[in-house]
Amino acid sequence: GQQVQQSPASLVLQEGENAELQCNFSTSLNSMQWFYQRPGGSLVSLFYNPSGTKHSGRLTSTTVIKERRSSLHISSSQTTDSGTYLCAFMATGGNNKLTFGQGTVLSVIP
Amino acid sequence: EAAVTQSPRNKVAVTGGKVTLSCNQTNNHNNMYWYRQDTGHGLRLIHYSYGAGSTEKGDIPDGYKASRPSQENFSLILELATPSQTSVYFCASGGLDYAEQFFGPGTRLTVL
């Protein structure tokens, strides 16, 4: 079946450091999203990024469709960035469903 | 103002009982989805809908039914709840053709 490999599984940063999160997709994709989730919270859409590079504040998402991968870059991390980051994609020819990765648990310490 | 809302936010049910989870969206999206989130399994699709009157099976539909009576509302029904259905359930809405999805706040269901 369709799979998403997300890495790293967990990451600890000192406040101010940068982070790069990766997702690799097993099949061709039509679109993908990055989400943020606090413990016990809902999924907040950070980026809807079918292809190319998008920026939002200290966050940058880059999706390379041909290589079936996407990355999320967090610059100058803050303690409030702590939480789980999830990537998900919609496969070509699929039913618009999102297939999710297992997530990266990020902890930013002061 | 929240565009996807769910009720109830928390629910405790007994084994064998009937549970209905409700979702409402004001995005005017055609597509709606029910996912569950479990440690070790991530988020998985249960049922989805392309519009009022339509329901489709997702990846893990067994033990669940869905109902889409209108564009705005999508319900998930557990006719005979089991402890294995203890989970957090998320509803989402999205437009056509691989569009972005927006999630509700989630319902935490415990089946005793």
pLDDT in tens, chain A (110 residues): 668 999 999 999 999 999 999 999 988 888 899 999 998 899 999 999 989 999 999 999 999 999 999 999 999 999 999 999 999 998 877 677 899 999 999 999 99
Q: What percent of the residues of chain B are helix, what percent strand, and what percent coil, each to the nearest 5? A: 5, 50, 45
Residue A59 contacts residue A47 (beta carbons within 8 Å): yes
pLDDT, tens digit, for every residue of B22-45? 999 999 999 999 999 998 888 999
Residues of B with CB under 8 A from a CB of A: 31, 33, 35, 42-45, 48, 56, 58-59, 90, 92, 94, 96-106
- How do A10-14 and A104-109 pair as beta strands? parallel
Rounded to the nearest angstrom, the minimum Cα separation between A70 and chain B is 16
Question: How far away is chain B from the Cα of A110, in angstroms, using its nearest Cα?
Answer: 28
Per-residue pLDDT at B51 exceeds 80: yes
- Minimum-distance CB partner of A45 among B33, B45, B100: B100
pLDDT for A11 equals: 97
Q: Are strands B107-111 and B10-13 parallel, antiparallel or unpaired?
A: parallel
* Inter-chain touch B103–A103, beta carbons under 8 Å: no
Q: What percent of chain B has pLDDT over 70?
A: 98
Determine the pLDDT at residue A9: 96
Q: Residue A1 has what pLDDT?
A: 67
- State residue A29's pLDDT score: 84
Q: Which residues of A touch B92 (CB under 8 A)?
A: 98
Determine, for residues B102 and A50 on separate chains, whether the beta-carbon distance falls below 8 Å.
Answer: no
Band (pLDDT 50/70/90 cuts) for residue B97 is confident
Half-sphere exposure of A73 (CA within 13 A, CB side): 11
User: Is it true that the peptide bond before A8 is cis, omega within 30 degrees of 0?
Assistant: yes
- For B84, the 3-state DSSP assignment is helix
Residue type for B17, please? G
* Contact: A45, B43; criterion CB under 8 Å: no
Pick from A43, A45, A102: which is nearest to B90 by CB? Answer: A43
* Cis upstream peptide for A50 (omega within 30°): no
